[in-house]
């Protein structure tokens, strides 16, 4: 929730209608950034004002070989997605990370993980093909 935007534009997209029983809770600043997923040393890192996304990833031990995307979730709940490719890290956006943000590095799927071998399904498919072939051969042999 962006309270500043809600105050600037009442009845806008950021405005929230409160009802009886609603509670507004503003937590203390955590003074930390969570870095998890495919990094060398995942965990909580101390917040340093002005540090950017790739600096936190490096402080978290850097990317692993199987990393694919980086998701930066701001304390407001907004999420941004970044590619981990070398060119992307050099030339795409490198946003400033806010206090209380979370960084999640996802893992690329390997070919072996893409779809496990299904023996039952394979046997079913082979029998269906054999049955179809036998049916065609029987029908072809009856044509004179």
State pLDDT tens for residues 19-71: 899 887 776 778 899 999 999 999 999 999 999 999 999 999 999 988 999 99
- Whether 64 is covered by a domain: the verdict is yes
Assess contact for 82 and 72: CB atoms under 8 A.
yes
- CATH at residue 85: 3.10.560.10
Show the tokens assigned to 133.
Answer: 């072939």
Domain that holds residue 44: 28-110
Number of domains in the chain: 1
How far is it, in rounded angstroms, from Cα 97 to Cα 27?
Answer: 18
Instruction: Convert 24-52 to b/e letters by CB count within 10 Å (16 or more is b).
Output: eeeeeeeeebbbebbbeebeebebeeebe
pTM of the model: 0.60
- Whether 13 is covered by a domain: the verdict is no
Show the tokens assigned to 95.
Answer: 């946003």
- Whether 127 is covered by a domain: the verdict is no
């Amino acid at each position: 929730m962006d309270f500043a935007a809600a105050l600037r534009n009442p009845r806008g997209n950021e405005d929230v209608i409160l009802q009886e029983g609603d509670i507004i809770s503003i937590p203390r600043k955590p003074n930390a950034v969570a870095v998890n997923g495919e990094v060398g040393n995942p965990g909580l890192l101390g917040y340093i004002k002005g540090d950017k996304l790739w600096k936190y990833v490096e402080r978290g031990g850097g990317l692993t070989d199987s990393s694919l995307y980086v998701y930066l979730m701001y304390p407001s709940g907004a999420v941004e997605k970044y590619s981990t490719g070398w060119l992307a890290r050099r030339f795409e956006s490198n946003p400033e990370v806010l206090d209380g943000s979370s960084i999640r590095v996802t893992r690329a799927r390997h070919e072996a993980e893409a779809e496990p071998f299904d023996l039952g399904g394979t046997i079913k498919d082979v029998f269906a093909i054999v049955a179809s072939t036998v049916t065609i051969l029987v029908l072809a042999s009856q044509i004179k």
